[in-house]
Amino acid sequence: MRKVLLFVALFLPFCSFSQDTIRFLQQNLLYYGVTFQTCTDETDSRNVYLKTIVDYVKPDIFAANEVSSNSSKQLSILNDVLNAGGSSDFSQASLTNYAGSNIVNPLYYNHNKLGLASYTGIHTDTRDVNVYKLYHKTADLATGADTIYITCLVAHLKAGSTDADDTARAIQTDSIMAFLQRTMIGSQNYFLMGDLNIYQSNDAAFQHLISTPDANIRFYDPINKLGTWNNNAAFALYHTQSTNCPRPCSATGGMDDRFDWILVSNAIKYGTKNILCLPSTYKAVGQDGLLFNQSFTTSTIVPPQVADALYNMSDHLPVTMDVVISRSLGVRSWSADDYSPDIGYILYENGRLMYEIDVKEPGDHQIRVLSMQGRVVAEEISDFQKGSHVGITDLPSLSPGLYFLSIAGYDGSLCVKKFFIK
């Protein structure tokens, strides 16, 4: 039986809340700032390409792999890319390098939204897995509200396709899960980001991450695209390596591997700790799925200058995803027997209402924004396919107060969610 949510404005409780959206960007930067074997240090010229990518994505958190352990090279990303052109929005987190590697995993963050609470590292034989604990600068922190933490584990696992390489990666991910178990980060908001160099979801290294018995520390693929990614055209839309970048020491072979990831904890998947991931925003930047086993020289979904920067910057495409931070988030429902659309987050900024909708039944949906008195202030029809989407509705100038977003399916299903304009 289809469930229908009845909209009766007078009986819905008044609730004032604020929300923020945080955008993640993760990329392997291909021996950035390093002179090694055939690699050459071309920091200045590569910064131009990296800035084009960053300006296009506009991240709040940027994690990188294969960056020189020389701190001046790490600062070049901060000063000459993220804060170039007069900006001063970004800071770099301190990092560990217990393994003494010549390449490390720095993290940069928008300090207007986030602060660094602590940092540590998980020592493995190949490289450290860097652990950065950030906090969100919510407006109510000064009044004693609980701090919302975001923990980012940034990893660059052992490369290679031999049995020994598989074993090394499995040991590294086992160390990650042991760290989470030991430090009791379970049930909290944490991400695993980086170049995992894993070829299929059945590999032991990946199974350690997604199948650990303790659900509190288990990781999830936000888009749930598991399988054998290597050299499989079915996953072309998610492949991140290799672009066949023309730089020395880059990997060849064309776009045929899903090496780069942003994985999320149980709390972030379901939004139980004030942070909810938005699967519809998870992307391999520029990847349109049309260049399987080919060089990444063009893209139908990003501007030409961005495609050119992606090709020339690295042999890996970056991955990106948005999350919503809100104290009003409840447990996200994925009920398969509910035919009504689910509304995830709602964000109002500068006359535009952005929302996430999880559609159970594809087709036309009536989008309405109503005042507390039930007056329709905006209305449109949108055709949604099954799955998760981000919708945007332009609104007229509205007075502060409580409003309702109503989304009705052609089959009579209905979902209503309240939001507040300050």
51: CB partners within 8 A, 6+ apart: 80, 81, 84
Torsion 395-399-401-403 (CA) sign: negative
As a whole number of angstroms, the distance between CA 326 and CA 20 comes to: 7
pTM comes to 0.78
The answer to whether residues 291 and 338 belong to one domain is no
What is the 3 state secondary structure string of 27-53?
Answer: EEEEEECCCECCECCCHHHHHHHHHHH
| Structure confidence at residue 337 (pLDDT) | 34
The answer to whether residues 341 and 223 belong to one domain is no
The answer to whether residues 163 and 221 belong to one domain is yes
Which among 296, 326, 356 is the end of a domain?
A: 326
Alpha-carbon 330 to chain mean position:
20
| Structure confidence at residue 7 (pLDDT) | 34
The enclosing H or E element of 75 equals helix 71-77
| Structure confidence at residue 340 (pLDDT) | 62
User: Is 350 domain-assigned?
Assistant: yes
The answer to whether residues 193 and 57 belong to one domain is yes
| Structure confidence at residue 328 (pLDDT) | 64
Q: What is the CATH number of the domain that holds 313?
A: 3.60.10.10
User: Is 255 domain-assigned?
Assistant: yes
As a whole number of angstroms, the distance between CA 92 and CA 207 comes to: 32
User: Is 395 domain-assigned?
Assistant: yes
- Residue 54 · residue 48 · CB < 8 Å: no
Which class for 93: exposed (0-12), middle (13-18), buried (19 or more C-beta within 10 A)? buried
| Structure confidence at residue 64 (pLDDT) | 98
The answer to whether residues 336 and 320 belong to one domain is no
For helices 304-313 and 43-57, give the axis angle rounded to 10 degrees.
130
Peptide bond into 280 cis (omega under 30): no
Q: How many CA atoms lie within 13 A of 37 on its CB side?
A: 7
As a whole number of angstroms, the distance between CA 194 and CA 53 comes to: 17
User: Is 413 domain-assigned?
Assistant: yes
User: Is 3 domain-assigned?
Assistant: no
The answer to whether residues 43 and 134 belong to one domain is yes
Domain of residue 298 covers 20-326
| Structure confidence at residue 398 (pLDDT) | 85
| Structure confidence at residue 13 (pLDDT) | 31
**For the chain, how many structural domains are there in total?**
2
Which class for 64: exposed (0-12), middle (13-18), buried (19 or more C-beta within 10 A)? buried
Which among 326, 342, 371 is the end of a domain?
A: 326
The low-confidence residues of the chain, meaning pLDDT below 70, are 1-18, 185-187, 328-340, 373, 410-413
The answer to whether residues 339 and 258 belong to one domain is no
The answer to whether residues 167 and 114 belong to one domain is yes
The answer to whether residues 298 and 348 belong to one domain is no
The answer to whether residues 363 and 412 belong to one domain is yes
Q: Name the pairing type of β-strands 190-195 and 149-156.
A: parallel
- Residue 34 · residue 41 · CB < 8 Å: yes
Write phi, then psi, for 420 (nearest 5 degrees).
-125, 135
135: CB partners within 8 A, 6+ apart: 114, 115, 116, 117, 147, 148, 149, 150
Which among 326, 346, 365 is the end of a domain?
A: 326
Write phi, then psi, for 419 (nearest 5 degrees).
-150, 165
Q: Which of 331, 221, 229 is nearest to 282 (CA)?
A: 221
> What radius of gyration do the chain's Cα atoms show?
22
Q: What is the CATH number of the domain that holds 410?
A: 2.60.40.2550
The answer to whether residues 126 and 177 belong to one domain is yes
User: Is 4 domain-assigned?
Assistant: no
Cα separations (Å) of 255 from 91, 132, 158?
Answer: 32, 30, 20
| Structure confidence at residue 364 (pLDDT) | 78
| Structure confidence at residue 186 (pLDDT) | 62
